[in-house]
């Protein structure tokens, strides 16, 4: 198959079967960060259904019932450290790919599209309505129309503070101790020990 460039003419059947010579289940393709079809894998469907069921139970559990909420988090997430607090509602795709370190606080309304690993470090502060979006789609219109998607990991270091409404895009790493101002859209990696603001997020100053 010849390589296309963005803007080249597209034939109706172009690039709609990038798995033609790939016998892996689409779950394995997803976990490898390759293009996959979510509707073509029973493993993907089962993992999503499991996550939706646990999330519904978590979001319906009273805040006063801390032990039950913690148990549900440990059932849902790939890793859940000690002294983690997550306030409902929480929204994930699979849960297995979301990892939260010790002492991290997650306020209301976290959305984590964890089609690739999302790692939140220890002692982080995640404000309301933060979106961690590891999911992405092809720029090629034919691939996108055919339903192909992929994911890129997100890594958030220790002691990071994400302000309200922050959006972290696929493939981004945020270094230790960094503060991201409310409403920022983080499209590229941020180093440790800085304050970043804006859309797209830019480093304002060091700490």
The better pLDDT of the pair 12, 59 is held by: 59
Is residue 156 within 8 Å of 162, Cβ to Cβ?
yes
- pLDDT tens digits, one per residue of 60-79: 999 999 999 999 999 999 99
Rounded distance between C-alpha atoms, residue 173 and residue 154, angstroms = 6
Q: Which CATH code fits 26-206?
A: 2.160.10.10
pLDDT at 17 over 90: no
pLDDT at position 5 is: 46
Q: How far is CA 110 from CA 89, 93, 97, 129, 164, in A?
A: 7, 12, 15, 5, 10
Is residue 123 within 8 Å of residue 158, measured between CB atoms? yes
Peptide bond between residue 44 and the one before it cis (omega within 30 degrees of 0) = no
Which residues are tagged catalytic? 137
What digits encode the pLDDT tens for the residues 100-137? Answer: 999 999 999 999 999 999 999 999 999 999 999 999 99
Locate the domains of the chain by residue range. 26-206
pTM, two decimal places: 0.90
* Model pLDDT, residue 18: 64
Beta carbons of 187 and 169 less than 8 angstroms apart:
yes
Prior bond to 89 cis, omega within 30? yes
């Amino acid at each position: 198959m010849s390589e296309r460039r963005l803007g080249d003419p597209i034939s109706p059947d172009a690039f709609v079967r990038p798995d033609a010579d790939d016998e892996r289940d689409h779950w394995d393709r997803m976990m490898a960060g390759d293009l996959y079809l979510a509707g073509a894998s029973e493993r993907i469907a089962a993992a999503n259904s499991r996550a939706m069921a646990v999330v519904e139970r978590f979001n319906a559990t009273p805040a006063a019932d801390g032990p039950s909420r913690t148990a549900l988090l440990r059932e849902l997430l790939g890793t859940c450290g000690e002294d983690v607090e997550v306030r409902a509602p929480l929204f994930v795709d699979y849960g297995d790919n979301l990892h939260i370190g010790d002492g991290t606080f997650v306020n209301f309304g976290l959305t984590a599209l964890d089609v690739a690993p999302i790692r939140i470090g220890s002692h982080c502060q995640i404000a309301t309505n933060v979106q961690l979006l590891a999911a992405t789609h092809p720029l090629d219109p034919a691939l996108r129309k055919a339903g192909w998607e992929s994911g890129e990991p997100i890594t958030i270091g220790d002691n990071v503070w994400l302000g309200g409404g922050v959006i972290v895009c696929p493939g981004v790493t945020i270094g230790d101790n960094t503060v991201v101002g409310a409403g920022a859209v983080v499209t590229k990696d941020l180093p440790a020990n800085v304050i970043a603001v804006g859309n797209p997020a830019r480093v304002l100053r060091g700490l």
